[in-house]
């Protein structure tokens, strides 16, 4: 397992370096104008800073949204596991409806539509968090349901035999085992969320994509600026992947069963 | 008023249980006195596991009455807490919690359901681990133990809830032959300490040594119920004779 990861990481590193090299080398030809993001020049440096500034909101937005979506996803998953048909229907309806709405549409609706319907004011950041979390929660719910369903029935029976309540059974017996199994899928969702946060740029959130768009408008250098944007997401997501894998490995080492 | 020793602690009266259209229990009646050791045997699918699963409320019975430790187990009410009913259960597949150490497996119930402090639960757990003779495995995970050791941990886990009645559902069926005895020894020791027990098992040597009452089930019915001496020497029903011949052959 470990060996496999190392090989994949090494290959990935090679790919990243290769891509960066190709982009830099192509800058030698006349059609490229790397000066807009050249860190040795004053404007280039300030442009670069301007772009990288977006990282803060991209990360804050994604992490906040995923925290909410994990909690909501779990709360939606639990009725889906009930023997009660009505509770299961609640889960099904929620998942089917939310999953059917494109994220971009949900972002627009939450930002422009929700304030009118609910008579509230909502800023760009919370509209983004709400839309991303809502959309992702349906997927999280399905992941949790699958994870919990994979736990042997005997674990519930043993919990009952030592008089644990439903909440204690979930908290101490079922969820700790289920979460270990679904960790790779949860990691996937985090990566997915980081990428989807780029859509929140359409309502004016000052994250990576929005920053790049704004710079393109003033500098007229889409090729170079969007290339930097690609590298920014790539670097961010490779870091997150490495973190998730490190966490998985730690849990596996912890498992010993 | 009957004397305490013979007053039934479990009363199963005319109990029926269905799985869909299949009737798993057909008007089963059985009484178990305090301190009595009952061994239930019978071919697979005869309803013996279902019977004890009804007693610890892992299954609901459709009709009839089950009274355990003075508490009636009713379909309509919320599940009675098995600690308050005083019933411990040991499973064929052990069902230990694989992500917890042996010690944590034992202390979880006492700490959460009996509100014991961590230190008290730990002392209690160590006492029962010594009783099943594996205190040195307290820090290990279930996967690291042999099947026989796992089953002994499972017995200790049930005992930590200090039940008045212990139910065993084929506790040695999933074990390699060389590990069966260590589990049976623990069960015999438990029996001789006066624990009320219902064991579903095919270990007839154990049954002969330990049981006060033998029950033979077939097709969801109790076909034969007798003291071990009579049960093994002169079973009345033909079905029971045939069954005993088959399993006593080897």
pLDDT band at A83 (very low <50, low <70, confident <90, very high): confident
Contact A163 B58 (CB under 8 A): no
pLDDT tens per residue, range A164-190: 999 999 999 999 999 988 988 999 999
pLDDT tens per residue, range B101-132: 999 999 999 999 999 999 999 999 999 999 99
Check if A251 contacts B (Cβ < 8 Å): no
Residue spans per domain, chain A: 1-53+206-257, 55-205
Complete DSSP assignment for B193-249: TT-EEEEE---HHHHHHH-SEEEEEETTEEEEEE-HHHHHH---SHHHHHHHHHHH-
Contact B91 A160 (CB under 8 A): no
Q: Which residues contact A203 (CB under 8 A, 6 or more apart)?
A: A107, A108, A111, A112, A124, A127, A128
Q: Which of B110, B93, B233, B235 is nearest to B160 (CA)?
A: B110
Ramachandran sector of residue B60 (left: φ over 0; alpha: ψ -120 to 50; beta: rest)? beta
User: Which CATH code for domain A55-205?
Assistant: 1.10.3720.10
pLDDT tens per residue, range B60-86: 888 999 998 888 887 655 666 655 668
Q: B63-68 and B71-73: which strand pairing? A: antiparallel
Contact A162 B58 (CB under 8 A): no
- Angle, helices A175-196 vs A124-149, to 10°: value is 140
- Chain A environment of B101 (Cβ under 8 Å): none
> How far is it, in rounded angstroms, from Cα B135 to Cα A229?
60
Q: Which of A73-77, B26-30, B79-83, B89-93 has the lowest mean pLDDT?
A: B79-83
pLDDT of residue A15: 81
Contact B141 A157 (CB under 8 A): no
In this structure, CATH architecture of domain B8-96+167-248 = 3-Layer(aba) Sandwich (3.40)
pLDDT tens per residue, range B164-178: 999 999 999 999 999
Q: Which of A45-49, A123-127, A252-256 has the lowest mean pLDDT?
A: A252-256
Q: What are phi and psi of B216, to 5 degrees?
A: -110, 125
Contact A257 B97 (CB under 8 A): no
pLDDT score of B1 more than 50: no
Which of B98, B105, B166 would you mutate first to test chain A, the one with the most A CBs within 10 A? B98
Considering only CB atoms, A155 lies closest to which of B97, B141, B158, namely B97
Contact B158 A161 (CB under 8 A): yes
pLDDT of residue B127: 96
Structural tokens at position A215 = 């710079």
Check if B107 contacts A (Cβ < 8 Å): no
Half-sphere exposure of B39 (CA within 13 A, CB side): 25
Neighbours of A112 (CB within 10 A): 12
Check if B83 contacts A (Cβ < 8 Å): yes
* Alpha-helical runs (H) found in chain A: 2-26, 42-52, 54-80, 85-100, 103-108, 114-118, 124-149, 153-161, 166-168, 175-196, 208-219, 222-255
State the burial class of residue A3 (Cβ atoms within 10 Å of its Cβ: 0-12, 13-18, 19+). exposed
Considering only CB atoms, B113 lies closest to which of A152, A163, A255, namely A163
ipTM of this predicted structure: 0.91
The mean pLDDT value for A74-93 works out to 93
Contact B108 A165 (CB under 8 A): no
> How far is it, in rounded angstroms, from Cα B152 to Cα B183?
6
The mean pLDDT value for A137-147 works out to 95
Size of the A and B interface in Cβ pairs below 8 Å: 73
> How far is it, in rounded angstroms, from Cα B50 to Cα B57?
10
pLDDT band at A38 (very low <50, low <70, confident <90, very high): confident
Q: What is the DSSP letter of B23?
A: E
What is the enclosing helix (H) or strand (E) of B84?
Answer: helix B82-85
């Amino acid at each position: 397992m470990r060996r496999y990861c190392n090989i994949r990481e090494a290959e990935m590193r090679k790919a990243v370096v290769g891509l960066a090299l190709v982009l830099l080398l192509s800058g030698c030809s006349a059609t490229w104008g790397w000066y807009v993001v050249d860190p040795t020049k004053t404007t280039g440096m300030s442009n670069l800073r301007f772009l990288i500034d977006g990282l803060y909101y991209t990360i804050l937005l994604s992490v906040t949204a995923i925290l909410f979506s994990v909690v909501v996803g779990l709360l939606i998953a639990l009725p889906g596991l009930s023997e009660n048909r009505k509770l299961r229907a609640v889960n099904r309806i929620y998942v089917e409806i939310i999953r059917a709405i494109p994220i971009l549409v949900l972002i627009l609706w939450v930002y422009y539509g929700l304030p009118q319907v609910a008579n509230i004011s909502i800023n760009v950041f919370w509209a983004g968090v709400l839309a991303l979390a809502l959309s992702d929660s349906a997927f999280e719910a399905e992941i949790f349901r699958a994870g919990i369903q994979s736990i042997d029935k005997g674990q519930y029976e043993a919990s009952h035999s030592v008089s644990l309540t439903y909440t204690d059974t979930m908290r101490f017996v079922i969820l700790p085992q289920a979460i270990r199994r679904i960790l790779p899928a949860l990691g996937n969702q985090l990566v997915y969320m980081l990428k989807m946060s780029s859509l929140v740029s359409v309502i004016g959130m000052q994250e990576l994509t929005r920053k790049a768009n704004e710079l393109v408008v003033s500098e007229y250098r889409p090729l170079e600026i969007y290339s930097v944007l690609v590298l920014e997401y790539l670097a961010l997501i490779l870091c997150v992947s490495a973190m998730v894998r490190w966490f998985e490995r730690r849990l596996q080492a912890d498992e010993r069963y | 008023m009957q004397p305490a020793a013979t007053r039934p602690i479990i009363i199963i009266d005319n109990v029926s249980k269905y799985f869909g259209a299949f009737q798993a229990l057909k008007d089963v009646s059985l009484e178990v006195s305090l301190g009595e050791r009952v061994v239930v045997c019978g071919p697979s699918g005869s309803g013996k596991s279902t019977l004890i699963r009804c007693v610890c409320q892992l299954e609901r019975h459709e009709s009839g009455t089950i009274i355990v430790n003075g508490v009636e187990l009713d379909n309509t009410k919320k599940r009675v807490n098995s600690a308050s009913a005083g019933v411990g259960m040991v499973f064929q597949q052990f069902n230990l919690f694989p992500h917890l150490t042996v010690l944590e497996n034992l202390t979880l119930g006492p700490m959460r359901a009996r509100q014991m402090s961590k230190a008290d639960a730990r002392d209690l757990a160590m006492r029962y681990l010594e009783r099943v003779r594996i205190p040195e495995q307290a820090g290990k995970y279930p996967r690291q133990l042999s099947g026989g050791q796992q089953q002994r941990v499972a017995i200790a886990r049930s005992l930590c809830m200090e039940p008045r009645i212990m139910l065993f559902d084929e506790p040695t069926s999933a074990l390699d032959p060389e590990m069966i005895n260590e589990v049976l020894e623990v069960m015999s020791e438990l029996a001789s300490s006066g624990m009320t027990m219902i064991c579903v098992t095919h270990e007839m040597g154990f049954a002969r040594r330990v049981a006060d009452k033998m029950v033979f089930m077939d097709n969801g019915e109790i076909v034969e119920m007798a003291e071990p001496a009579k049960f093994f020497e002169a079973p009345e029903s033909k079905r029971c004779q045939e069954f005993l011949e088959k399993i006593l052959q080897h």
